[in-house]
Amino acid sequence: MASLISPMTPALQQNPKIICFSAFKPPLHHDTPSFTDRLRSNPGRCKAFFGNIPDDLLENTLQLDQFPAFQSGLVQFQSVTEELSDTQKWGLLVFAGVAWIYLTARPGILIGAIDAYLLAPLQLGLDSLTGRRNLKRSDFLVGDKLGEGSFGVVYSGVVVPRNATVEEKVPKRGTGRALQLDERFKEKVILKKVKVGITGAEQFGEVEEWFNYRLSRAAPETCAKFLGSFVADQTSSQFTKGGKWLVWKFEGDRTLGDYMKDRNFPFNLESVMFGRVLQGVVSVKRSALIIKQVMRQIITSLKKIHDTGIVHRDVKPANLVVTKKGQVKLIDFGAATDLRIGKNYIPDQSLLDPDYCPPELFVLPEETPSPPPEPVAALLSPVIWQLNSPDLFDTYSAGIVLLQMAIPSLRPVSGLKNFNTEIKKARYDLNKWRESTRLRPDLTILELDSGRGWDLATKLISERGYLGRGRLSAAAALRHPYFLLGGDQAAAVLSKFSLIK
Ligand SMILES: Nc1ncnc2c1ncn2[C@@H]1O[C@H](COP(=O)(O)OP(=O)(O)OP(=O)(O)O)[C@@H](O)[C@H]1O
């Protein structure tokens, strides 16, 4: 609204409320003097009305009635409301307020509709223009295999520069190392081949692609940059004609899981997170700061994706890539579900890693029916979200990651499995587990600062209580005292300014 007035004075820019106030007082009919006319003809009353405001601000405010379109809209609005009784006006106001709260409550129907009906088509149009949706098999050279899931195989790779010849593009044995050494192939990528002929694989590929596009609009900083997809046009080496491939920017050499396998963890992350070794800090505190910084990033990303209605459902160290700049990014959205529209939500289906999965096993209660058509699902989503808090599924997994980072004996797979057996017996009460465990956990890091880390862990790793609550959401976890002492933040920010390098 403020941009309607040009040029704006500095005083006006600082005081937009006054514009709003006067804008809602237009003349009722064009033949009656406008509110601003009346004020202009009586500056004393005007000042009395608005208080002692600067003259330039007042003059700009009074110029509002020079915008006929704006005025006529307001006139129409006022003439409609004029006919209503005071009670009806109040009713209208309350209805508008409640509707606004409902439409903007998590997971955000309004913003979701804007995303689905405006931003997604816009992205599609822009991507088609820039060629992002027209990727081809020949744009990439496939390197080493990095991993294999039930529905896909992941490879490292590079983008082939436009001037490279066709012969040079043909991949050979041992390509991975050769590609790294080849100066021409600077842009590294990750390619995921969706398995062909496996039941559910195609749908999995479609789901992962959908989530990556969705997140590239809604919360791009939380996940690996998605470059697009292509369908192989012929069968050769790793390619099968008609098979789908998804492509991401290569974000980093190692996942949090890779770092945690190293005996030197968490110090192997110190210079990545903070630019250098934190001098003058004792080693336990250094460990605690590194872990807190990783944890802060995980929880912040979870908060952002939960705000959009997405639950990842597979949060674990192997699905968190650490970038060169010390950012921790979520990958592998194949199991994710968008509960704003019910995308990838199938009742009774749990695609889980049992080591990180919360006791409830399902993101929504099993009796929740299959989602209705998307617009209806979206309208119901705030109720579903309020009643079930599905985001707490991910925060449990984040709690397990915290415990693993802080307690060395829980890092190996066997240690985590033993923990899971014990915590189940302790009915997911960490304090009871602590009294009964045979794992002799070293809790030093969690006990620092009056046990704030331990307290946070007990509030993330717990069973759900009434209405599915009782465990901290990501937003609530970020407000926990553990994160309020921001030594890790200070170190991370300083490293960005290279002051401590
Ligand atoms: N954008 C990326 N940047 C760097 N490495 C990545 C990226 N995406 C994936 N990786 C690497 O590839 C591995 C497998 O990726 P991802 O987890 O997405 O595949 P997956 O087929 O689901 O495998 P799994 O079932 O074993 O998790 C990751 O553990 C990671 O090492």
The length of the chain in residues reads: 501
Contact 395, 292 (CB under 8 A): no
Q: Please report, in angstroms and rounded to a whole number, the separation of the first and last CA atoms in the chain.
A: 46
* Residue 312 alpha carbon to ligand 1 centre in Å: 14
pLDDT band, very low/low/confident/very high, at 191 (cuts 50, 70, 90):
very high
- Measure the CA–CA gap between 338 and 389, rounded to whole angstroms: 13
pLDDT tens digits for range 116-146 = 889 989 988 988 888 777 888 888 999 999 9
What does the pLDDT read at residue 183? 65
Atom of ligand 1 nearest to the CA of 225: 1
**Residues 12-49: tens digit of each pLDDT:** 444 443 333 334 444 444 455 555 565 566 656 555 54
Work out which ligand 1 atom sits closest to the CA atom of 148.
Answer: 21
- Map out the domains of the chain with their CATH numbers: 135-163+185-249 (3.30.200.20), 254-497 (1.10.510.10)
Report the pocket of ligand 1 as residue ranges, CB < 6 Å.
146-149, 152, 154, 190, 224, 248, 250-252, 255, 318-319, 321, 331-332, 334
Each residue of 456-469: pLDDT tens digit? Answer: 999 999 998 776 67
Q: Is 393 helix (H, G, I), strand (E, B) or coil?
A: helix
Q: Model pTM greater than 0.80?
A: no
Q: Measure the CA–CA gap between 493 and 261, rounded to whole angstroms.
A: 27
- Catalytic residue flag (residue 314): yes
Q: Check 65, 314, 332, 391 and give the catalytic one.
A: 314
Q: Whose CA is nearest to atom 20 of ligand 1?
A: 149
- How confident is the model over 333-357, as a mean pLDDT? 83
- The answer to whether 370 and 347 are in contact (CB under 8 A) is yes
Q: What is the rounded distance in angstroms from the CA atom of residue 24 to the CA atom of residue 21?
A: 6
- Residue among 232, 286, 331, 304 at smallest CA distance from 445: 286
Tell me how far the alpha carbon of residue 321 lies from the centroid of ligand 1, in angstroms: 8
Question: What is the three-class DSSP state of 253?
Answer: coil
For ligand 1, the distance from its centroid to the CA atom of residue 149, given in whole angstroms, is 9
- Ligand 1: residue of 155, 331, 353, 413 to mutate (most ligand atoms within 8 A of CB) is 331
Tell me the CA–centroid distance for residue 332 and ligand 1, in Å: 6
State the pairing for strand pair 226-231/152-159: unpaired
Q: What is the DSSP letter of 410?
A: G
